[in-house]
Amino acid sequence: MTEELILANATLVLPGETRTGSVKVSGGEIADIAEGAAVPAGAIDCGGDFVCPGLVELHTDNLERHIQPRPKVDWPHASAIIAHDAELAGTGITTVFDAMRVGSISRKESRYGAYARGLASELLELRAAEALKISHFLHLRAEVCSDSLVAELEAFGEADRVGLVSLMDHTPGQRQFRDLCKLEQYVKGKHGFDDAGFQAHIAHLRELRETYGDLHEAEAVKAAKRFGAVLASHDDTTAGQVAVSASHGIQLAEFPTTVEAAQACHAHGIKVMMGAPNLIRGGSHSGNVAAYELAELELLDILSSDYVPAALLMAAVRLGDLWGDTARGLGTVTHAPADAVGLHDRGRLQTGKRADLIRFRVTAGAPAVRGVWSRGLRVA
């Protein structure tokens, strides 16, 4: 990395404040930060646009959407991965933990087959070939309500860049889908089940949880330690569930479904992550707690784009407006997620950090990305 870059006359989003200034990049790192509106020779005049660290995305299903753009359509994976990477770069995301489900279900009609090992290998090969624009890590979504979780986890090792393992339990009637009517709408819409098929699906999932749930949960915790990955919970609903999460050493709670669970997370020192689409839409599509409610209660630490990559920056800007603090809002998508997974080389505009940067302006309440740099090289 030898390319030099100066972004000048910008509104810099620094830790804890915004300030007019410039950022100088050299060798893929932030070399200097200066105050003032001066535009040195050769610099890019940002005209007051915001410049902040590249966004860090910990949980996105976007790659799965690219490899299966329609039901039963398996798109060529290399093309899908490259398109996914480019889409994220275009929304300001410069570090992503690509979520992949581990733990398949043997029943043919379930449509949950094993795929993560093969897809991860393809992604890592493209990364090694320098075909990708941004920084990729793996997020293994360990579904305890499944047949084959242990075997699928054993296929991964320390060299696979597994940075995050989340404990998933989609047993009907609890956590995300306490309301079986909401689950019925979701499953029938996604998989096309009729009434009988839905009831058989529910019965089978409950049987799997009874047979394998506790074993799979314990094995996923062991696997995270083996990978050196951060362990996360998913859809905690009660203080009791959070206490179990804390006993596993969980550091991050993805999408707690109630205020009770979010309060318990903070009591245990567990960071709370909520979905950006939830914040933008004003509520959860599953009928769970609204992200803005947790933000107002000072219980929201990190945002994830979840299923809409462009939502990440938009929601962070809205949080800044809600809190009256732009730097704090942007912190939920920069240094907070980076710190949560131990990536202390990025997420802040500070000298010596990775030069992952985005330039954007806000028009009619919507942020428009005007430039994205990964390790000092422009990628969007």
Task: Identify the CATH number of the domain in which residue 277 sits.
Answer: 3.20.20.140
- Residue 310 and residue 351 share a domain: no
- Residue 65 and residue 42 share a domain: no
CATH number at residue 32: 2.30.40.10
So what's the pLDDT on residue 213?
Answer: 67
- Residue 369 and residue 251 share a domain: no
Cα angle 152, 153, 159 (rounded to 5 degrees) comes to: 120
pLDDT tens, residue order, the chain (380 aa): 457 899 999 999 999 999 999 999 999 999 999 999 999 999 999 999 999 999 999 999 999 999 999 878 899 999 999 999 999 999 999 999 999 999 877 655 445 678 999 999 999 999 999 999 999 999 999 998 788 899 999 999 999 999 999 998 866 656 566 655 655 555 555 555 666 766 666 776 766 776 776 888 999 999 999 999 999 999 999 999 999 999 999 999 999 999 999 999 999 999 999 999 999 999 887 778 999 999 999 999 999 999 999 999 999 999 999 999 999 999 999 999 999 999 999 999 999 999 999 999 999 889 999 999 999 999 99
Question: Domain range spanning residue 46?
Answer: 1-53+346-380
Say how far apart CA 88 and CA 14 lie, in whole Å: 22
- Residue 353 and residue 220 share a domain: no
Helix axes 116-128, 77-90, angle to 10 degrees: 70
Kindly report, residue by residue over 163-185, the tens digit of the pLDDT.
999 998 866 656 566 655 655 55
Residues 6+ apart with CB under 8 A from 168: 101, 103, 141, 142, 143, 144, 145, 234, 235
Alpha-carbon Rg for the chain in angstroms: 21
So what's the pLDDT on residue 320?
Answer: 97
Helix axes 180-191, 195-227, angle to 10 degrees: 90
**CA-wise closest residue to 365 among 321, 328, 326, 327:** 321
Q: What is the DSSP string of 205-269?
A: HHHHHHHHHHHHHHHHHHHHHHHTPEEEEES--SHHHHHHHHHTT--EEE--SSHHHHHHHHHTT
- Residue 80 and residue 19 share a domain: no
So what's the pLDDT on residue 62?
Answer: 95
Kindly report, residue by residue over 16-57, the tens digit of the pLDDT.
999 999 999 999 999 999 999 999 999 999 999 999 999 999
- Residue 217 and residue 134 share a domain: yes
So what's the pLDDT on residue 1?
Answer: 46
- Residue 252 and residue 144 share a domain: yes
For the question of whether the overall pTM of this predicted structure is more than 0.85, the answer is yes
- Residue 135 and residue 15 share a domain: no
Mean pLDDT, the chain, rounded, equals 91
- Residue 230 and residue 89 share a domain: yes
Q: Which residues pair with 357 in a beta bridge?
A: 53, 373
So what's the pLDDT on residue 171?
Answer: 65
- Residue 160 and residue 134 share a domain: yes
**For 196-205, b where at least 16 C-beta lie within 10 A, e where not — what string?**
eebeebbebb
So what's the pLDDT on residue 192?
Answer: 59
- Residue 28 and residue 167 share a domain: no
So what's the pLDDT on residue 197?
Answer: 67
> How many folded domains does the chain comprise?
2
- Residue 64 and residue 129 share a domain: yes
